[in-house]
Amino acid sequence: SDESDWEIADSIEGDESGAHLPMPTLAVVGRPNVGKSTLVNRILGRREAVVEDVPGVTRDRISYEAQWAGRKFLVQDTGGWEPDAKGLQQAVARQAELAMRTADAILLVVDATVGATSTDEAVAKTLRRSKTPVILVANKVDGERLEAEAAVLWSLGLGEPRLVSAAHGRGTGDLLDDVLDVLPETPREDLGPGTGGPRRVALVGKPNVGKSSLLNKLAGDERSVVHDVAGTTVDPVDSLVELGGKTWRFVDTAGLRRKVGNAAGAEYYASLRTKAAIEAAEVAVMLIDASVPITEQDLRVISMVVDAGRALVLAFNKWDLVDEDRREQLEREIDRETVQIRWAERVNISAHTGRAVQKLVPVMETALESWDKRIPTGRLNNWLKEVVASTPPPMRGGRLPRVLFATQATTRPPTFVLFTTGFLEAGYRRFLERRLREEFGFDGSPVRISVRVRE
Ligand code: GDP
Ligand code: GDP
């Protein structure tokens, strides 16, 4: 009945009731084996509450909902990368940099039984310039004997090491009290609606596609590069650029300046860097070299953007090199290679001559509007009822799955939850996404639809 459908809607996060307030995030970083996972489990009280509907959650970063002293927050376990021994230091530093951009507070965990290793020192150095509060955790202090040894960790320059034993729970309550002292009530920047701040753009694409050239073109002369905006702190690795009467934050532009060489592993780090830039951004401008065929590497970067759930703009660069013959061939290539992202808008530009670069701004704006868009539950369900009535889902095992109700759980990107009485085939879900896009228009943004089957 209608009534029970509404009960379901009430019980999930993120409908217009405002039940889902954005929660601040605590990131846990450190070398492998220092006890990060053990600490996360301790903080969670071993509840297995994986929060998958939280925006920005990817395979590498799993967020869990935690609660302490009546306050809710997300704990982010930044594991998942498995670098070789040589790459360890950089991978941990990257992890810390990512946390500095996305989290509201950071725990750096070190192993007190080992002391400060060179990797710990490197990551501490990175974190010392963090504007996000950092708490140093000396883990594995299982007994008093180790307390004196842990004192040497003051040398990391991150203040007093908090002595804990994640395995036994020693000191973790005090640690959480300290966390709540530094953790803001609401998440940083614009995760909450209406808090403004320059929108964050990542320029991505394979090496030599023209990212630096485009940034230079967009920034024009030095005067349009903004160094100070009231109420904004500029991460030294970002550039603020005034475009179309607005300030935009181009993330990780230091990474653009610092070119990767051909050293072993360079490609792996370039890809980590791309990934971090995408994570830090709200919209990615994906540059593709229009003068040569689309490559696997191009498609991989596009997938990274879509998987991260960021808004996407496709910029076909070096258009000045494209002649008439190539154009037709290129159109066919684009049609063939970008079927899954028909929703992404395209601009043909030349960072070299400046052709059409000003067109990027309105397209980025549209993409972000789509990314932020929320469809009221009533409108969504009126539409759904009509679509399902005219094209019902295919039968499964002799039964017709009923589509009961839908709600938009989150924005950024728009994520919908459908409640059904049975499994919906992938083909039907794609059909619904197509119709949803036709009706509500989500140009430039990925859209996620998850199906919850009600027994
Ligand atoms: P991660 O790789 O940083 O996530 O580390 P884990 O949480 O997987 O822990 C690595 C190892 O350290 C495991 O064998 C844990 O049981 C152990 N460990 C974690 N915390 C403590 C602790 O407080 N005391 C001791 N003695 N061992 C711990
Ligand atoms: P990045 O590695 O992606 O930052 O690429 P760069 O901006 O360094 O550009 C790589 C090379 O492509 C440079 O020699 C640029 O001058 C050239 N380039 C970049 N954009 C264009 C363009 O629109 N047209 C042409 N003809 N060359 C370009």
pLDDT digits (tens, 9 = 90+) for 380-391: 999 999 999 999
pTM: predicted TM-score of the whole model, two decimal places: 0.59
Q: Which helix (H) or strand (E) holds 99?
A: helix 88-102
Joined together, the tokens standing for residue 382 give 């009126």
- Would you tell me how many other CB atoms lie within 10 Å of the CB of residue 411? 17
- Residue 174 near residue 162 (C-beta atoms within 8 A): yes
Ligand 2 centroid from CA 218, angstroms: 14
| pLDDT greater than 90 at residue 423 | no
Joined together, the tokens standing for residue 259 give 């070119």
Give ipTM to 2 decimals. Answer: 0.55
Q: What is the mean pLDDT of the chain?
A: 81
pLDDT at 14: 34
pLDDT at 94: 73
**Residue 143 buriedness (CB in 10 A; 0-12 / 13-18 / 19+):** exposed
CA distance between the termini of the chain: 14
**Span 285-294, pLDDT tens digits:** 999 999 999 9
Question: Is the pLDDT higher at 275 or at 438?
Answer: 438
Name the residue of 203, 212, 213, 215 whose CB sits within 8 Å of the most ligand 2 atoms, as the mutation to test its pocket: 213
Ligand 1 centroid from CA 108, angstroms: 14
Percentage of residues in the chain having pLDDT higher than 70: 80
444 is in an annotated binding site: no
**Span 115-153, pLDDT tens digits:** 999 989 989 998 998 888 999 999 999 998 888 888 889
CA atoms within 13 A on the CB side of 411: 19
Which of 68, 86, 443, 422 has its CA nearest to residue 265? 86
| pLDDT greater than 70 at residue 395 | yes
| pLDDT greater than 70 at residue 259 | no
Determine which of 153-167, 174-188, 238-252 has the lowest per-residue pLDDT on average: 238-252
| pLDDT greater than 80 at residue 231 | no
With a 6 A CB cut-off, is 321 part of the ligand 2 pocket? yes
Pairing of strands 105-111, 25-29: parallel
Instruction: Give residues with Cβ within 8 angstroms of 379, minimum separation 6.
Output: none
| pLDDT greater than 70 at residue 274 | yes
Ligand 2 centroid from CA 322, angstroms: 14
Ligand 1 centroid from CA 141, angstroms: 11
With a 6 A CB cut-off, is 318 part of the ligand 2 pocket? yes
Residue type, 249: R
**Span 196-213, pLDDT tens digits:** 568 999 999 998 999 988
Give the mean model confidence (pLDDT) for residues 386-410: 89
| pLDDT greater than 90 at residue 219 | no
81 is in an annotated binding site: yes
